[in-house]
Structure 1
């Protein structure tokens, strides 16, 4: 799922026009420029029936949109939403936006990036 989600973002001209290929799971490499996306799998569970696993999994993925300004972070978040919210295909049965937060990284204001965090529910074939 992680590889397919990242690939889906990287084929979007709206996302790559803003973030280039800076779409990573876990962390943004120190020193690399912004804007960028950082994806984290928050939860991932297997679907079950009384007969056992049903082959469908559901994961919550947090996508953090980082940029030097609030406007740039928000613009990147809108590009991500346009690609993912309501998407189905390529192993995904559905990807849905579940929540969003506007944040600022902790610490003094000098050099701290702005962040918009998006939570997506992904339903996919195992």
Structure 2
């Protein structure tokens, strides 16, 4: 699922025009240029039938959009949301926006975090 999720973002010209290839799961080195995306699998559970697994996983992915300014982080978050909300393909039956949060701490760039619910056929 992670490879397909990242591939969907890398296939978007609107996203990569801002990030280049700085789109990674679980890695957020402090010296990485902005804007950038850091992806986190928050949950991933397989569906079950009485006969066993149904081959469909349901999960939640957090997409952290980093920018040197609030405006840059927000623009990136809007590009990501435009690509992923309602997305299907690459094994995904559906990807749906579930929430957004803004944040910044004193030692990091601005961040907008998006949560997406995923339904993926494995």
Interval of TM-score (by shorter of Structure 1 and Structure 2): over 0.9
Is it true that 1:117 corresponds to 2:99 in the alignment? no
How far, CA to CA, are the matches of 2:42 and 2:108 in structure 1?
24
Deviations 1:30-59 (CA, angstroms, capped at 9, x unpaired) = 312100000000010000122221110011
1:54 is matched with which residue? 54
1:28 is matched with which residue? 28
Runs of 4+ in 1 over 4 A off after TM superposition: none
How far, CA to CA, are the matches of 1:20 and 1:28 in structure 2?
15
Q: Which runs of 5+ in 2 are unaligned?
A: none
How far, CA to CA, are the matches of 1:48 and 1:71 in structure 2?
43
Q: How far 1:68 sits from its partner (Å)?
A: 0.5
2:65 is matched with which residue? 65
Q: How far 1:21 sits from its partner (Å)?
A: 0.6
Q: How far 1:27 sits from its partner (Å)?
A: 1.8
Q: Secondary structure at the match of 1:100?
A: strand
Q: TM-score, normalised by structure 2?
A: 0.95
The alignment yields a C-alpha RMSD, in angstroms, of: 1.0
Q: TM-score, normalised by structure 1?
A: 0.93
Say how many residue pairs are matched. Answer: 122
Q: Which runs of 5+ in 1 are unaligned?
A: none
Is it true that 1:93 corresponds to 2:93 in the alignment? yes
Deviations 1:77-117 (CA, angstroms, capped at 9, x unpaired) = 00000110000112100000011101112x3xxx5300000
